[in-house]
Amino acid sequence: MTRKQKRFGLIAGGAAFLGLALALVLTALNQQIVFFVDPSAIAEEPLEPGQRVRLGGLVATGSVERGQSELVRFSVTDGLAAVPVRYQGILPDLFREGQGVVAEGEMSPDGVFLANTVLAKHDENYMPREVADSLKEKGLWEPDGEGGGSYVEPETTAVSDTPTASVPATQ
């Protein structure tokens, strides 16, 4: 074996080792990555039951229903569609209707998003970046000239036929 062949073998072996290591890292991360989706994306392409995602949007006006033992039902809307959400636990103090929210969880077979984490905004000017970007893409965000903006609420459509999915249009 010539010196050139040994060098080529060493480089090929190193590249194969790095490729295998990269494949293992990506496989491990794929199980931990949680993608952000908005209600319109779910309406266009429904999620597989059990697929973990972060659902972002605004808490639909008039949709919050508090049940027994910290069970809360509400809808998340992006102005074009709404997704019913069920959450068991204590909501953040700043959770309110019409405010930005990000819920992490999975879609159940009956079309209800089962959240196990709910994040709410932390001041009047804050909107989760993913939610604000999604609203800007849909033309539902009016910039105020100071780096902030406000949501423009259009008619919404329900993603699911469940009673909590319907979101009344407000002015």
Average pLDDT, the chain: 81
> How many CB atoms sit inside 10 A of residue 113's CB?
25
pLDDT digits over 98-156, tens only?
Answer: 888 899 999 998 889 999 999 886 655 566 677 777 777 877 766 665 555 656 555 55
27 lies in a domain?
no
128 lies in a domain?
no
Residue in this structure with the two tokens 């008619």, named with its chain if needed: 155
CA within 13 Å, CB half, 89: 14
75 lies in a domain?
yes
Of 128, 73, 122, 64, nearest in space to 102 by CA? 128
pLDDT digits over 36-65, tens only?
Answer: 888 988 889 888 888 889 998 889 989 999
125 lies in a domain?
no
Exposure string over 24-33, b if 16+ CB within 10 A, otherwise e? eeeeeeeeee
User: For residues 162 and 107, which has the higher predicted lDDT (pLDDT)?
Assistant: 107
Q: State yes or no: pLDDT of 11 exceeds 70.
A: yes
What is the number of domains present in the chain? 1
CA separation, residue 27 to residues 30, 31, 58 (Å): 5, 7, 33
Amino acid 18: pLDDT: 96
Q: Is the pTM of the predicted complex or chain greater than 0.75?
A: no
Give 84's strand partners: 75
Confidence of residue 165 (pLDDT cuts 50, 70, 90): very low
Residue 45 in contact with residue 144, Cβ under 8 Å? no
| Pure H helices in 31-127 | 39-44
161 lies in a domain?
no
91 lies in a domain?
yes
58 lies in a domain?
yes
Amino acid 143: pLDDT: 64
Q: State yes or no: pLDDT of 168 exceeds 70.
A: no
Amino acid 169: pLDDT: 43
CA distance 48 to 37: 13
Residue 91 in contact with residue 72, Cβ under 8 Å? yes
154 lies in a domain?
no
Annotated binding site: 122, 126
Of 70, 65, 64, nearest in space to 98 by CA? 64
Instruction: Give residue 109's domain range.
Output: 35-120
> Which CATH number goes with the domain that contains 92?
2.40.50.140
Annotated binding site for heme: 122, 126
